[in-house]
Structure 1
Amino acid sequence: MIKKEGIVELFFELVQIPSPSFKEERIIEFLMDFCQARGGRGERFPSREGVNLLVSFEGELPLSGVTLCAHMDTVEDGRQRIEPLKKGSRIVSAGETILGADNKASIAMFLGALGFIQENKIPHRPFSLLFSFGEEKHLAGIREFPVEHLLYSDVLLLDASGALGDIILQSPFHRSFEIEVRGQKAHAGIEPEKGCNAIKLAAKLIERLPQGRLDSVTTFNLGKIQGGEATNIVPDSVSLIGEFRSLEPGRIEELTRELEELCAQTAGTEVKFTDNYQGYRLDQADSFLGELIQNLEKLGKKPQFIQSGGGSDANILRARGINAVNIT
């Protein structure tokens, strides 16, 4: 049996390697060295913003191969030095920084399992480890990975919150928006009559926007406002930036039309949309999924199918024809 202490030690080492999005160079070197020292064939896939890493291992068992996927990056303050601390049965940050468990806890488990089967000469199926960059930035890294280089198209991710071993049955469609509200600039003290305050126009529009959980499968959020230059200038431009998500693609289109209609009612207002990722629903009859459930049950888990309001690399992989499954 894999010793928990070894996984914890690996996790501590991983979280102390800074790897905010698009700054994953040091952890890439660590992962490449670790895997190659254990017989892996590693290949870097550089792109404009970062590098994805794929490491493959041959197997002895006559079973189909599988890919284990995790992202290397953390949220922004991951560039600070992180000091993990074991507090009872929990691991926390000793200071004011993030811990970085997302997704380094998964990486530690993958590496711990790799070390265990190698040290104990346990026969295993062939497998690959896929490490992506920039996941925290709208899944940027996995978009750049050439999936035709995957040796095994059944992919397992551990990148969701919830009870241990539950399976993400559905993940949402995600569309972001940016509304540009335009007024007229003028000096606020000398000739305010010549101005049209874009902030006031934006405030009236904001009052009409939906917000929060709209129904059981749909959310909407206005998350950022930018505008204005100085207190003595009537502002001529304001940007409203937000997103909406839904498990139902039809709701995405309904909200898109609603925003377009609202903006059309305010002169000088434009809205632009960006599709960040497509949603999915697993086929519960899939053989890889069935095998995964059997293995979880052997470990004493009773996996539940759950819906998620968040996205993961699985969204991008599934949209590109890869059989990716994300579990908690």
Structure 2
Amino acid sequence: MVIERFLDLVKIDSVSLQEHKVANYIKAFLDELEILYTEDDAGHKLGGTCGNIIARLDSADANSETILLAAHIDTVQPCVGVEPIIEDGVIRSCGDTILGGDDKAGVAVLLELLAHAKQLNGQHKNLICVFSIAEEIGIFGAKNLDIKALGKIDYAYILDGEGQPGKIYNQAPYSAKGTIKIIGKAAHSGVNPEEGINALVVLSDIISQMQIGRIDHETTCNIGKVSGGVATNVVMPSLEVMFEARSLDPQKLDQLLERTEKAFQAGCEKHQASYQFGVKKGTPGFNISTDSPVIENFKQACQKAQLKFSVEACGGGSDTNIYNSEGVAAILLGVGMEKIHTTDEFIKVADIENSLTLVKQLIN
């Protein structure tokens, strides 16, 4: 059933902030199973068409631990009119769109998990399943979820990672990005160029004093876009640089940002230019110890499901970041999706099925 559920879901259009068709599918499914759920006002706050959906199934054991599992219901574009194809145990789109395994694989697994748990008559851990919106455009659904209102959560697992079931991501980078503006001085390039201050020359000098790209095994930075100038006969009066930095160590990120601003300050002073530093920190990262209870619990589930456990750091952000920032120990799980955010995206049938087997063990 989980494969049929996945195929149903990927056929439903789900552009970020327009996820209501998927939300309606989920709510109809939960209504049929008579599982209690709520829909919050995140969509209203964000100008979307639906909110986050939170489903609950309580344990018959009053002293049971509480486990939260989550997946997001929006997909990146092009995601309209997805036509899934199964060949040799692999599911792809017809090639004109993404597949949407990111993250409808997670959604399908959670729905089938809820159906399974409903049949257990409370012989499972307290279960909270969150289906979040607007993840792909900035993790906005999770950011607008009242996590504290969910109550005490012992373990949280976010089904939104690449890699086979059994793989987890216990670290994600702290990041910062924004625009840095260099303000020089215009002059006619053929008449009095010496009276101008070329913003590009200033930037070139600054960059020559910086380390760009891989800083160390935990830290990177990049200048991804430079824009400025007026015409070929005008000394470039100003420019804007789009800058980003990431590190698994928050202190290293702070140090990198400090060095970067000092480099721009020194370079501008040298050339009698000025600058505006608009780089700001983004979503906080996380770092969960491999011997923490949330990971030990997952390791045990892997053993029971006979799946290989592996762990590594991820390079991007997800709902996992938000739960950790709110004090909930959460890790990101691989669910089999590959080549995400491209029209070459695919997922193996076996990986979806193994993901379901694994989460069943998590709630036992």
The alignment's TM-score, normalised by the length of structure 1, stands at: 0.86
Displacement of 1:148 after TM fit?
1.9
1:77 aligns with 2:78: yes
2:348 maps to none
1:31-46 map, 5 Å: 31-46=26-41
Q: 1:281 aligns with which of 278, 287, 297?
A: 287
Tell me the SS of whatever aligns to 1:85.
strand
Which stretch of the first structure deviates more once superposed, 83-92 or 179-188?
179-188
2:145 matched residue in structure 1: 145
1:220 aligns with 2:226: no
AA in 2 matched with 1:155: A
Consecutive unaligned residues in structure 2, runs of 5 or more: 335-364
Q: Give the conservation status (yes or no) of the 8 Å contact 1:170–1:282.
A: yes
| Aligned counterpart, 1:238 | 239
Give the aligned length.
322
Asked if the contact 2:172–2:317 (Cα under 8 Å) also holds between the matched residues in 1, the reply is: yes
Q: 1:76 to 1:274 in 2, by over 3 A?
A: farther
In structure 1, the residue corresponding to 2:40 is in which secondary structure? strand
Q: Which letter does structure 2 place at the counterpart of 1:317?
A: Y
Q: Counterpart of 1:297 in structure 2: which amino acid? A: Q
| Deviation at residue 69 of structure 1 after TM alignment | 0.8
Q: CA–CA distance in 1 between the matches of 2:94 and 2:187? A: 51
Tell me the distance in 2 between the aligned counterparts of 1:228 and 1:24: 41
8 A Cα contact 2:57 2:118, kept in partner:
no
Structure 1 CA distance for aligned equivalents of residues 241 and 77 of structure 2: 22
Q: Structure 1 residue aligned with 2:315, among 301, 305, 309?
A: 309
Q: Report the Cα distance in structure 1 between the residues aligned to 2:93 and 2:252, rounded to whole angstroms.
A: 39
Q: Secondary structure at the match of 2:52?
A: strand
Q: In structure 1, the residue corresponding to 2:317 is in which secondary structure? A: coil
How far residue 292 of structure 1 moved from its aligned partner, in angstroms, is: 2.0
Question: 2:172 and 2:283 mapped to 1: Cα distance?
Answer: 10
Over the aligned positions, Cα root-mean-square deviation in angstroms equals 2.8
1:73 and 1:209, CA in 2 relative to 1: closer, same or farther beyond 3 A? farther
Residues 261-308 of structure 1, C-alpha deviation per residue, up to 9 Å, x if partnerless?
121122222212222122222244433432221111111123123222
Change (3 A) 1:85 1:180: same
Q: Check if 1:10 corresponds to 2:5.
A: yes
Higher relative contact order (CA 8 A, sep 6+): 2
Aligned-residue offset at 1:219: 1.6
- For 1:94, give the aligned amino acid: C
Partner residue of 1:3?
A: none
Answer whether contact 2:243 2:279 (CA < 8 A) is retained.
Answer: no
Compared with structure 1, are the counterparts of its residues 46 and 199 closer, same or farther at alpha carbon in structure 2 (3 Å cutoff)?
farther
Equivalence map 1:114-129=2 (5 Å): 114-118=114-118, 123-129=123-129
Q: Which runs of 5+ in 1 are unaligned?
A: 1-5
What CA deviation, in whole Å up to 9, does each residue of 1:207-229 have, x standing for no partner?
Answer: 55433322111121222334456
Asked if the contact 1:179/1:271 (under 8 Å) is kept, the reply is yes
Contact 1:219 1:244 in 2 (8 A): yes
1:158-307 to 2 correspondences below 5 Å: 158-184=159-185, 197-199=198-200, 201-206=202-207, 208-228=209-229, 236-264=237-265, 265-266=267-268, 267-307=273-313
Aligned counterparts, 1:312-323, within 5 A: 312-323=318-329
Kindly, what percent of the aligned residue pairs are identical? 29
Does the CA contact (< 8 Å) of 1:127 and 1:152 recur in 2?
no
Residue type at the aligned position of 1:146: D
Pick closer, same or farther for the CA change 1:205–1:66 going to 2, 3 Å.
Answer: same
* In structure 2, distance between residues paired with 1:140 and 1:114: 25
Question: Residue in 2 aligned with 1:57?
Answer: 57
Which TM-score applies when normalising by structure 2?
0.78
Distance verdict in 2 for CA 1:179–1:39, change over 3 Å:
same
Post-superposition Cα deviations, 1:177-232, rounded to whole Å, max 9, x if no partner, equal 32112244578899988765545544554555433322111121222334456778
Aligned pair in 2 of structure 1 residues 233, 109: CA closer, same or farther (>3 Å)?
farther
* More moved, 34-43 vs 54-63: 54-63
- Counterpart secondary structure, 2:180: strand
What SS does the aligned partner of 1:160 have? strand
Secondary structure, in 3 states, of the residue corresponding to 2:30? Answer: helix
